[in-house]
Each structure stands twice: as structure tokens, then as C-alpha cells.
């Protein structure tokens, strides 16, 4: 699994889809770098860099696993990059299938242009036997001369959805078109066009691995969102919260805004935090998100963080939208809690450090017990947040 956005959600979708027929191994955590990826194949958690006894235990258990029958038929792995040349370092994995979820701005403090990002992410095709690509979010120019299977909502995709229903938060329906032209009516649990594309990736791989139409239908219905990735939560005053707080990039923020703006609601509020790691283009990309907001569909935009407040907020105001800005997610959440009307839908989206929009969501929950469904709720993260916003 490679790509600029959507890797983790696609990983979980694939795991849920394939588990009905195969013994599947994957890591629930974000194990996608050179040190942690090998741990996935042996089912280990990271013991900590300086935990000598923990590493001895890992090596011993690995030795036993290597010298016995491997218990899994399928291992699903994310590979991530923070800079040029890192994707190539995973060539030893020799994957049967590589899924490329998107090419978009990421870690732009280390890449000079989107072309450099594409060159990095596309390196996965050099060592994968089969390449599967989301052509909706990958420019065709990066795919010229390559042999690949495509998925997306575009009519020229090998695997695609037609008749996709949007506008409510309950089981969108769609018609799945397989590469051989077979059409299947399905129900989904993932929201919006982006959620549909995540499901398409899973259906594509399942079909390539020989799953029947009935198994694909059942698998699609089993795919559910995970914490911090467009999960619907019950909010105060009979509202709905779209918790998309795991992370943020321009392509993902636009996709989340599309879900919010296409949802039938008496009031729509977007909590938008700064997007980190965008490098020299950060100011312009935040402004672009502000310009993407639609005054006819958004009643309020609330920003968290310096970049969002300085560049996203003014652009949204220029579109005629009411905007309020905060440095703290706690303050943003308290403010939004006072604004929510019955039947409202609230989107929360933002990066990690300096934003942590999940803490704004916590102020909006109808049931405090649902806070356990939010991302980054361990003692480690809570201490980090308290320090940042003290």
C-alpha cells in the first residue's frame, strides 16, 4: 500500500474484505517505515528503540516463526515516505499486488514539487508484480508506459462505481462494475466519494484474488470506518459529528468537505485545522482550501492553528462564510458546542501537532463514553497535548 493519502483506511478496508476467505495479517498501528514494517510480518508491536530485552524477545520469536509453517496467507502492509528514496528501500518485500491510493502534496518540506512526490510514490511499481492505481487521484502523466489495473469513479476505470448515492449518512448504495463488465448492486458503510474509492480498492484486489461476486458483496458490507477517518458520532443537540481527525492533506480535506456539503442537514459546520508538512506551498494550499468552501452549503467554518487561521480563514471569509479562528482545539470545541443547532452535521478535520482536532470533537459528543472512539487518547498523547496548549 503506497500513496499520498488514504493508505491506512484502504489497508483496513482490504483487511476486512479479505478476512472472510483468507488468513490475513496487518498492523492496526501506523507501522509504515523501515524499522516497523518488518515487525508486521511477525505480528509484533514496536518494543521501543532502547528496550534491549524487548528486541531480544522479538528476534527469538522471529527465529521460531521462520523455522515453522507461516500461519497467514495474506499480509497487508503500508509503506510510507518522509523524503526521496525511501519507497525504493522496501523493494525486499516483493509484493504480489501494490495499491497506489493517490499522488498529492505530502511532506513538501522534503520534496521540491508534486512531480518529485510522484517519482517517490511510483517507485513501488518497480518491485510489485501487479500494480493497482486509483486513477481519480493520480495524474495520468505519471502512469504513462506502465502496466496497471485501475479503480475509481471515472468511467474509464477498470473497476468503478456507478449510481453512487450521497446526501445521507446511512449506507450509501452503488453499482459496482468489475473489469469484465459484471455489474453488482452493493451497500457501503463508507461515506462520500473518497469512502467509495477506498471500498473500490478492496473490491478490486478481492476480484483479482478470485473472490466470488457474493464474497465481494459481503466483504463490502463488512467494511466500516475506523477512528478518526470519517467516523459518524452522535453529537450534542441531536447533531452528527464527522470525525476525520486522524490527519489532513489538501486532497483529504476537500474530500471530507464534499461529504459534509453533500449531506442533508439543517446546519453544516466545518472545523478545519492546519495541514502540516506542506513546505513552501503551505500558505497557498491553505488558501486553496478556504476558497474550496462554499457559502451556500456551510453555515460556519472554525479554524484551529496558525496556518489555517492566517490563510484558510481569510479565503473562506472572502467567500461570504462566517469564520471563527482559535489556536486551541479545546476553545474551538467549546465555541462550536454553543453554535450547534438541532439536526446539525459537524465535520472535524486537521493534522496532528499543533492542531489535534479530536479534542474539539470531544467537546461536542452527546455521550462522553464515545471519547474512547477518538484518536490519540492514550496518556502519552494527552500529556503531549496538554504541553502544547498549556
Question: What domains are there in the chain, each with its CATH number?
Answer: 7-222 (3.40.1190.10), 231-388 (3.90.190.20)
Choose among 127, 123, 138, 128: nearest CA to 4: 138
pLDDT value of position 72: 93
Partner residues linked to 131 by β-bridges: 98
pLDDT value of position 170: 78
Choose among 4, 3, 29, 8: nearest CA to 244: 8
pLDDT value of position 27: 87
DSSP-derived letter for residue 48 is -
Distance CA 44, CA 384 (A): 25
Continuous H helices in the chain:
7-18, 37-40, 52-66, 114-121, 192-208, 213-222, 250-262, 282-292, 306-307, 313-318, 329-339, 358-362, 379-388
pTM reported for the whole predicted model: 0.89
pLDDT value of position 211: 97
Q: What are phi and psi for residue 27, nearest 5 degrees?
A: -105, 125
Q: Centre a 10 Å sphere on the Cβ of residue 323 and count the other Cβ atoms it contains.
A: 23
Distance CA 98, CA 130 (A): 6
pLDDT value of position 290: 98
**Whats the size of the chain, residue-wise?**
390
> Cβ neighbours of residue 138 under 8 Å, at least 6 residues apart?
100, 102, 103
Q: Could you give the dihedral angle defined by the CA atoms of residues 370, 353, 245 and 289, in that order, rounded to the nearest 10 degrees?
A: 150
Choose among 142, 134, 15: nearest CA to 78: 15
- Please tell me whether residue 327 adopts helix, strand or coil conformation: coil
First to last CA, the chain: 38
Distance CA 251, CA 234 (A): 26
Strands 74-76 and 24-26: parallel
Contact 134, 201 (CB under 8 A): yes
Q: Read off the pLDDT of residues 199-257 as tens digits, 9 standing for 90 and up.
A: 999 999 999 999 999 999 999 999 999 999 999 999 999 999 999 999 999 999 999 99
pLDDT value of position 48: 81
Q: Read off the pLDDT of residues 166-199 as tens digits, 9 standing for 90 and up.
A: 777 878 899 999 999 999 999 999 999 999 999 9
pLDDT tens by residue, the chain, 390 residues = 899 999 999 999 999 999 999 999 998 877 777 778 888 888 888 888 788 888 888 888 888 888 888 889 999 999 989 889 999 999 999 999 999 999 998 888 889 999 999 999 999 999 999 999 999 999 999 999 999 999 999 999 999 999 998 777 878 899 999 999 999 999 999 999 999 999 999 999 999 999 999 999 999 999 999 999 999 999 999 999 999 999 999 999 999 999 999 999 999 999 999 999 999 999 999 999 999 999 999 999 999 999 999 999 999 999 999 999 999 999 999 999 999 999 999 999 999 999 999 999 999 999 999 999 999 999 999 999 999 998
> Cβ neighbours of residue 261 under 8 Å, at least 6 residues apart?
268, 294, 297, 298
Amino acid at each position: 500500500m503506497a500513496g499520498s493519502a488514504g493508505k491506512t483506511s484502504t489497508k483496513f478496508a482490504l483487511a476486512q474484505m479479505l478476512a472472510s476467505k483468507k488468513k490475513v495479517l496487518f498492523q492496526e498501528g501506523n507501522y509504515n517505515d523501515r524499522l516497523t514494517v518488518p515487525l508486521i510480518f511477525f505480528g509484533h508491536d514496536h518494543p521501543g528503540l532502547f528496550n534491549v530485552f524487548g528486541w531480544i524477545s522479538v528476534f527469538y520469536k522471529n527465529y521460531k516463526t521462520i523455522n515453522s509453517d507461516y500461519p497467514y496467507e495474506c499480509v497487508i502492509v503500508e509503506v510510507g515516505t518522509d523524503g526521496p528514496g525511501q519507497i525504493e528501500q522496501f523493494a525486499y518485500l516483493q509484493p504480489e499486488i501494490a495499491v497506489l491510493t493517490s499522488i498529492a502534496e505530502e511532506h513538501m518540506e522534503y520534496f521540491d514539487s508534486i512531480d518529485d512526490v510522484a517519482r517517490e510514490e511510483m517507485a513501488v511499481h518497480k518491485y510489485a508484480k501487479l500494480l493497482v492505481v486509483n486513477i481519480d487521484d493520480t495524474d495520468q502523466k505519471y502512469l504513462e508506459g506502465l502496466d496497471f489495473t485501475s479503480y475509481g469513479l471515472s468511467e474509464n476505470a477498470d473497476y468503478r462505481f456507478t449510481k453512487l448515492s450521497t446526501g445521507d449518512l446511512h449506507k450509501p448504495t452503488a453499482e459496482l462494475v468489475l473489469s469484465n463488465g459484471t455489474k453488482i448492486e452493493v451497500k457501503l458503510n463508507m461515506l462520500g466519494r473518497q469512502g467509495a474509492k477506498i471500498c473500490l480498492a478492496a473490491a478490486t484486489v478481492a476480484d483479482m484474488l478470485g473472490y466470488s461476486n457474493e464474497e465481494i458483496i459481503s466483504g463490502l458490507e463488512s467494511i466500516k470506518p475506523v477512528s478518526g477517518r470519517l467516523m459518524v458520532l452522535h453529537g450534542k443537540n441531536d447533531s452528527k459529528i464527522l470525525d476525520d481527525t486522524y490527519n489532513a492533506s489538501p486532497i483529504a480535506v476537500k474530500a471530507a468537505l464534499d461529504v459534509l456539503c453533500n449531506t442533508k442537514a439543517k446546519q453544516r459546520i466545518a472545523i478545519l485545522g492546519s495541514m502540516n508538512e506542506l513546505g513552501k506551498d503551505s500558505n497557498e494550499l491553505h488558501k486553496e482550501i478556504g476558497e474550496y468552501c462554499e457559502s451556500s452549503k456551510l453555515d460556519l467554518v472554525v479554524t484551529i492553528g496558525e496556518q489555517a487561521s492566517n490563510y484558510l480563514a481569510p479565503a473562506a471569509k472572502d467567500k461570504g462564510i462566517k469564520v471563527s479562528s482559535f489556536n486551541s482545539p479545546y476553545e474551538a470545541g467549546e465555541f462550536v458546542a454553543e453554535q450547534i443547532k438541532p439536526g446539525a452535521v459537524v465535520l472535524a478535520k486537521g493534522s496532528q501537532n499543533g492542531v489535534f482536532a479530536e479534542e474539539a470533537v470531544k467537546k461536542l459528543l452527546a455521550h462522553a463514553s464515545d471519547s474512547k472512539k477518538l484518536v490519540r487518547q492514550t496518556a502519552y498523547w494527552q500529556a503531549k497535548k496538554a504541553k502544547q496548549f498549556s
